Amino acid sequence: MSLLDLSIAEMARGLRDREFSSVELVEAAYQQIDRLDGELGAFLRTTRDQALAQASVCDRELAVSPDGRGELYGIPVAYKDVLCTQGVETTAASRILSGFIPPYSATVVERMESQGAIALGKLNCDEFAMGSSNENSAFQQTRNPWATDRVPGGSSGGSAVAVSARMAAATLGSDTGGSIRLPASFCGVVGVKPSYGRVSRYGLIAFASSLDQVGPLTKTVADSALVLGAIAGEDPHDATSSQAPVASYQDAIGQGVSGLRVGIPKEYLAMGIEPGVRRVFDQAAQWLEAEGARLVEVSLPSTEYALAAYYVIAPAEVSSNLARMDGVRFGPGFGGATNLGDAYEHARHQGFGGEVRRRITLGTYVLSSGYYDAYYLRAQKVRTLVAQDFERVFSEVDCVISPTAPTAAFRLGERLADPLAMYATDLLTLPANLAGISGISVPAGFSDALPVGLQVLGPYLGEATCFRVAAQVEAAADIWRVGPETAGAAEEGV
C-alpha cells in the first residue's frame, strides 16, 4: 500500500508519531507521478526540488515540536493551473498564458501554505476551465485512471485524477458549472463546491466571475472538510468573499442524518439518468432513509431553463474577462504582424483554443446592441428564478440530493463533435452555481465498474449539512479505499 492511500488524518498521525516522514510522503507522491502520469496526464508541471526542500523543513520542525501542528502540515497537495502560484508558471492550460510567472499566489494557495501543506505542482484542466471532459487543454490529454479510454471529467480533471490515482493527498480545483463535482464523480473522489463567496477567488484566473468558486478534491469527506476549513473565510483582497464566520466542518462529520429532511427533485431525475447511475442513487437514498433521514419529493421547476441561461451568462462573462488577454507580455507573440489589429488577431487566434473562441464569440453576441435584452437580461431573470426555486425548497427541506451527473465517465472524443451534448453533461450541477449555493459530490457506488457520485446540495453557507449527508453516504458505501488500482474489489452496483 502507498502512503498516499492513507487519509489526511492518518498521514498527520503518522507524521506526529514518526512512523514516516514528510519527505517520504512527498517521495511516495512523486513515485506515483513518475509511474502513472505519463499515461494519465494530470500534472502540467511539478516542483520537485522545492517540495522536497519544504518537506525537509517540516520534518525538522516536527522533530522539535510534533504537537500543535495542523493536520495539513507536511501533507503533499497540488493546485489546478488556474490558481496563481508565485514563481511557478500558471497558464490556465492555455497557450496565450505560456510563460506567465505570477508575482503572487492566490489566497487559497497562501492559506494552504500557511498550514504547512507542500505543493507538488500544477494540474491540467480544460483551457480557462471551459469544459466538462478535460479534453480542451492546450497542452495534453488527461485520462481517467479507472479506464484510460474515458474522460476524467472537467474542467478540474487533473485535480480529480491526481487524488484518485494517489498522486496527491488533496488538490484544489474550481467549479463554475460543475467543474469540481463532475470530475469528482467520474474519478471516484470527493469534490466540494462551496457557496459563492465562502472561499476567496483572489488569484483565480477568472472564467465567469459571478459563478466561479474554488474548492477541494480529496479521498474522503473528512479530508474535504479539513481542507475547506483551511481555505474558507473572508479575504480583504476579494470584495465578494463572505464575512460570515466559518463553521467547524469537521464537527459536522459525525452528526449523522437522523431527523434531516432530504429533498429529491423530480426534475433532476427526469434528466436522462443512465440505469446504472439511477441504481446507485436509489441505493444511496435508501441508506439515508435507513439512518433516519426523511425523504421528500420536491420541485425545482426552473431547472429546465437553467442550462440555456448558464450558457448565456457564462460566455458573456468570458467575453469580458478574456478581453485582457492580448499576447503582449507572454503567449504566442505577434507572428511578425505589421499593425496592432493583425497582432491581436494572431495572438488571440493562436493563443485560444476552439472552445474558448466559441464561448468568446457567443458571449460577445449576447452582449451586443440589440441582443442584450433578448438574451443576457432574460438569462439573468431565469437565474433569479433558479435561485428562488432553491430558496423555497430549502424552506421545506435541509438539503437536496441527486446523481452528480446523468452518466458515468464517457469515452474520450465521444462528445467533442457535439457541443450541446457536452454542455448537457452539466445539467445536474450548474443550477447550484447559478444560485450560489453549497454542494458536494461523494462516491456512492459503481456503474459498469466506473465510479458514480451522489450530489448533495445545501442552502447558502450550508456546507456543514452537505458534509453530514455526504459522510453518511461514504460510511454506508464504504468504498473510499478502493482506488483505480484495486478496482477489482469493487462490485457492480455497489
Instruction: Give catalytic residues, as residue numbers.
Output: 80, 155, 179
Instruction: Indicate the angle between helix axes 303-321 and 378-393, nearest 10 degrees.
Output: 130
Cell digits for 464?
456543514
Nearest CA to 80 among 141, 171, 154, 9? 171
For residues 387, 309, 190 and 259, what is the CA-based torsion angle, rounded to 10 degrees? 30
Q: If phi over 0 gives left and psi between -120 and 50 gives alpha, with beta otherwise, what is residue 468?
A: alpha
C-alpha 375/C-alpha 50 separation (Å) is 48
Strand 43-46 relative to strand 118-123: parallel, antiparallel, unpaired?
antiparallel
Question: To which residue does cell 497542452 refer?
Answer: 139
Contact 76, 29 (CB under 8 A): yes
Residue 329, all three cell numbers = 507580455
**Grid coordinates given for 142:** 488527461
Query: Cα(55)–Cα(78) distance, rounded to whole angstroms?
Result: 14
Q: In this structure, what C-alpha cell is assigned to residue 138?
A: 492546450
Number of helices and strands (H, E) in the chain?
16, 11
Bridge partners of 456, per DSSP, are 401, 440
The whole-angstrom separation of Cα 326 and Cα 182 is: 31
- For the beta carbon of residue 223, count every other beta carbon within 10 angstroms: 27
**What is the Cα–Cα distance from 152 to 131, expressed in whole angstroms?**
11
